[in-house]
Chain A
């Protein structure tokens, strides 16, 4: 496999469920990101991991919990979500150095519906 792979592609969950989104990158990148894409709103950066450390959390509610066990894998753990959390969740990765950002690559996303 190449690129950035996200699973599942589609997920329907109840407000009391617990589920996880998975992202895997096969590019050897050292940074990974979660974005939220809602209808009629700009893409929202949720979390950034650089060298497996969380470096940014953009005021995301605690019902979203990220995990980055190694440089190739990123998870987003979900619990007690609200219907307004329904969106497309996109994962991305990049190679970061002090000279710049290279190879920013997105996955195909997980379409999440909260019922």
Chain B
């Protein structure tokens, strides 16, 4: 089945440091890839996504490139801020099929999450 593996956390950085959070995946088809962020006390918010090989998703200074040859989707940011402190989840979506009439749905498979703490 599909799976997502993220680097172990927690990650602790000083403000303005460079961030990389590694993510690799296993999937049978051609999945879409996502990074979600969860701030304290809140649900998950979509940070960025990429739907095909070599696509680069970007948002709020974060970037990730869909690398099919290495089955990776590493998250990077050149200069982190204290406000970036959160839990980051890598995820993939591969269409599934229901039992009822062939309606498809996009099940998300998540990694275990990486806690990021940024100090001033």
Contacts and interface: CB of A to CB of B under 8 A. Distances in A.
Q: Do A and B come from one complex?
A: yes
Interface of A: 4, 6, 31, 40-43, 45, 48, 50-51, 53, 55-56, 90, 92, 94, 96-98, 100-101, 104-109
Given A101-B93, A104-B46, A55 B100 contact: yes
B103 A50 contact: yes
A42 B105 contact: no
B44 interface: yes
Given A48-B107, A94-B106, A96-B104, A55 B42 contact: no
Main secondary structure, interface of B, reads: strand
Contact of A55 (B43, B89, B103, B108): B103
B110 interface: yes
Contacts of A108: 41-43
Interface residues of B, number: 29
Interface in B38-88: 41-46
Contacts of B112: 40-42
A43 B89 contact: yes
B43 to A, nearest CB: 4
Contacts of B110: 42-43
B98 interface: yes
Nearest to A50: B105
Given A42-B4, A55-B96, A104-B46, 12 more contacts: A31-B105, A31-B106, A50-B98, A50-B100, A51-B103, A101-B105, A104-B106, A104-B108, A106-B36, A106-B45, A108-B42, A109-B42
Most B CB within 10 A of own CB, among A4, A50, A98, A105: A50
A53 B97 CA distance: 13
A101 to B, nearest CB: 3
Nearest to A9: B41
Contacts of B43: 4, 6, 90, 106-109
B16 to A, nearest CB: 29
10 contacts: A6-B43, A31-B105, A43-B110, A50-B103, A55-B100, A56-B98, A56-B107, A94-B106, A100-B95, A109-B43
